[in-house]
Every structure is written in C-alpha cells, then in structure tokens.
C-alpha cells in the first residue's frame, strides 16, 4: 500500500488541470472544461480497502484512497485503481462546498469525475485527467485532525449516464495528512 502512495500523490498534483476510466476502452468525454489553475494545499492518504469500486459498470479494487484539497476550494476523493493493465488508472470524485455536520462527518457534493489513465496526454510527465460533468455525493466518517477516518462512500452519475460508486473502509491505520501549502479553509463548518 505504501509504495503506491508516491504515485497517487504525483497523480493528485496533476489533478489541478482537467482523467479516463477503463483498461480496455477509454470513456468518451464530451465536455472538456477549462483548466482550474489551482494547487493542492492539503493531502490526506488513507490505508484500507475498497469494499466497492465501480467505474462505469465495471468493478475494480483499489490501491489507496486520498483526500486532496485545492487552494481554491475544490476537493477530490482520489482512488488509485488496482488495474493490472494500467498503473496510471486514477478516478476522482470531485466537488466544492463540502460541509461538516459534526466533527466526525463530512459531505461533499460531486459535480465532476476526474478520469485518468496511461493513455491520457501528459504534462511534465504526468497524465492529465479528463473531466466528466457529474452529480453525486461523497460522505466521509472520521476526522483528519484526529488522523482517523473509518469509511468513505461516494456515488456519482455522469452526464452520459455512467455510474461511479465507492465504499472505502479504513484498516485503522492513522491517516497521513500533509499540508502542502497554507490556504484558507473552504469547509462549511456550523461548529466554528
């Protein structure tokens, strides 16, 4: 699990710009968005397993899951897909305006999927993800400040009708949280 973290971390840095999901045939993307020109300011890597990972009707395993917060408020729950045919296969549930209901729960509305593969164009040697407009939600149980996350569930449907689903369960290992750069928080927290 730990040997895949540098690969995922490098892929997440590339997420600041527009990803793919499938080892046999790429998912067509018909809505290329403008680059966001943001930078990852907080990265949390989690250890555990994906009980469920479905990408456009196909089931996969995962190598690791990460939470990446951008300095402009965009959040990605990125999943390094266990795909023997593609060591660059990463899918991300991406959204803005996440909310905490309490110290141990967080919800992120999803407005796009970021789909990355070995077949994507590269910038500085890293594949650039394709963006697919989507609707959905991710829910996280646990707390990064306490370095404990118990699970993450995500569901999304893209504008082509493809469905994406994640159920990640932690193995209890403390979350590895890295502040990459200082920025303003973007989580709506009713308790502050």
Give pLDDT, residue 185.
Answer: 52
The answer to whether the pTM exceeds 0.75 is yes
In a domain, 184, yes or no: no
CA distances to 52, 69, 86 from 97, rounded to whole Å, are 25, 11, 32
In a domain, 126, yes or no: yes
In a domain, 189, yes or no: no
In a domain, 30, yes or no: no
What's the total number of domains in the chain?
1
Give pLDDT, residue 179.
Answer: 86
In a domain, 31, yes or no: no
In a domain, 115, yes or no: yes
In a domain, 152, yes or no: yes
Kindly report the number of other CB atoms within 10 A of residue 117's CB atom.
24
Q: Which domain holds residue 129?
A: 2-21+40-179
Tens digit of pLDDT per residue, the chain (192 long)?
A: 444 444 444 444 444 333 333 334 444 444 444 444 568 889 999 999 999 999 998 999 999 999 999 988 899 999 999 999 998 899 999 999 999 989 999 999 999 999 999 999 988 888 889 999 999 999 999 998 899 999 999 999 999 999 999 999 999 999 999 887 654 555 444 434
Contact (CB, 8 A) for 48 and 169: yes
Q: H-helix or E-strand containing 166? A: strand 163-170
Please give the Cα distance from 91 to 63 (Å, whole number): 12
In a domain, 106, yes or no: yes
């Amino acid at each position: 699990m730990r040997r895949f973290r540098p690969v995922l971390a490098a892929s997440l840095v590339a997420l600041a710009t527009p990803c793919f999901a499938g080892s046999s045939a790429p998912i067509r993307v018909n809505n290329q968005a403008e680059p966001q020109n943001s930078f990852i300011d907080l990265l949390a890597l989690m250890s555990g397993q994906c009980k469920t990972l479905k990408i456009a009707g196909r089931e996969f395993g995962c190598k690791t899951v990460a939470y990446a917060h951008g300095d402009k408020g965009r959040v990605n729950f990125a999943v390094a897909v266990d795909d023997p045919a593609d060591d660059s296969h990463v899918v991300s549930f991406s959204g803005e305006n996440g909310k905490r209901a309490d110290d141990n729960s967080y919800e992120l509305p999803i407005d796009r999927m970021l789909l990355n593969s070995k077949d994507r164009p590269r910038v500085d040697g890293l594949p650039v993800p394709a963006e697919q407009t989507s609707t959905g939600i991710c829910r996280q149980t646990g707390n990064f400040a306490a370095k404990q996350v118990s699970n993450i569930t995500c569901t999304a449907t893209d504008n082509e009708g493809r469905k994406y689903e994640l159920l990640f369960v932690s193995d209890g290992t403390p979350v590895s949280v890295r502040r990459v750069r200082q920025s303003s928080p973007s989580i709506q927290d009713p308790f502050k």
